[in-house]
Structure 1
Amino acid sequence: MLVRASRPARPFRLLAGVALSGVLVAAASGCGKEEAAPADGTDDALAGRARQVAEAWDGSASAAAWRTGYHPTGEAVQLPRGGLRGRADEQAFEDGRFVLRGELPGAGPGDGRVAWHGGKTLKRPLVGADESYGSLARSRGAGKPQLTVTGVELGEMRLATSRGPATVPAWLFTLDGYASPLRQAAVLPSKPPRPPIGRAQGIPGLPLDRLVRTAADGRSVTVIALHGACDDGAVVDARETTGSVVLAAAVKDRQEGGLCTDQAKMQQVTVALDRPVGDRVLLDAHTGRPVPYKGMHGITPSGG
Structure 2
Amino acid sequence: MRSVKLLVTLGLVVAAAVGCGDQRAPADNRVRDADTAERARRVAAAWEGSEAARVWSRGYYPLGDAVQLPAGAFHDDADKRAYATQNFTLHALLPDTAKKRAKVRWRDGDSLTLPLASAREAYDKVARGGNSGPALTVTAARLGEMTVPTSRGTATVPAWLFTVKGYDTPLKRVAVTPSELPRSPIGAVPERTDALMPLVGLETVARDGRTLTVRAEHGGCDDGPAVDVLETEGSVVFSASIRGTADGPCTSESRVEKLTVKLRHPVGDRIVLDAFTGRPVPPRQQSARPAR
Decide: shared fold, TM above 0.5: yes
Whole-angstrom CA distance in 1 between matches of 2:152 and 2:42: 24
- Runs of 4 or more, structure 1, over 3 Å off, are 19-23
Matched, 1:168 2:177: no
Cα 1:202–1:134 shift into 2, 3 Å: closer
Deviation at 1:146, TM superposition (A): 1.3
1:212 aligned partner: 203
* Distance of 1:157 and 1:263 partners within structure 2: 39
- How far residue 19 of structure 1 moved from its aligned partner, in angstroms, is 4.5
State the percentage of identical aligned residues: 47
- 1:97 and 1:278 mapped to 2: Cα distance? 36
1:75-118: CA deviation from partner (whole Å, max 9, x where unpaired): 11111122221111111111111111121112431111100102
Q: Is contact 1:15–1:270 with CA below 8 Å preserved after alignment?
A: no
After superposition, residues 1-304 of structure 1 pair within 5 angstroms as 14-22=10-18, 43-142=33-132, 144-202=133-191, 204-205=193-194, 206-257=197-248, 259-294=249-284
Q: Greater shift after overlay, 199-208 or 110-119?
A: 199-208
In structure 1, C-alpha distance between the alignment counterparts of 2:83 and 2:206, rounded to whole Å? 25
Over residues 221-274 of structure 1, what are the superposed CA-to-partner deviations in whole Å (9 max), with x where a residue is unaligned?
A: 1111112223222111111111111111111231011x2133322222122222
Deviates further, 117-126 or 77-86: 77-86
Match of 1:29 in 2: none
Unmatched 5+ residue regions in structure 1? 1-11, 24-41, 296-304
Q: Which amino acid aligns with 1:18?
A: V
Return the letter of the residue paired with 1:61.
E
How far does residue 216 in structure 1 lie from its aligned partner after superposition? 1.9
What code does the residue aligned with 1:46 have?
A: T
Alpha-carbon RMSD across the aligned residues, in angstroms, is: 1.8
Q: Distance in 2 between matches of 1:253 and 1:18?
A: 12
* In 1: Cα distance, 2:50 partner to 2:253 partner: 35
Deviation at 1:164, TM superposition (A): 1.0
- Contact kept, 8 Å, 2:9 with 2:243, in 1: the verdict is no
Number of aligned positions between the proteins: 264
Q: Which runs of 5+ in 2 are unaligned?
A: 1-7, 20-31, 286-292
Measured in 2, the distance between the counterparts of 1:153 and 1:179 equals: 15
Partner amino acid, structure 2, of 1:210: G
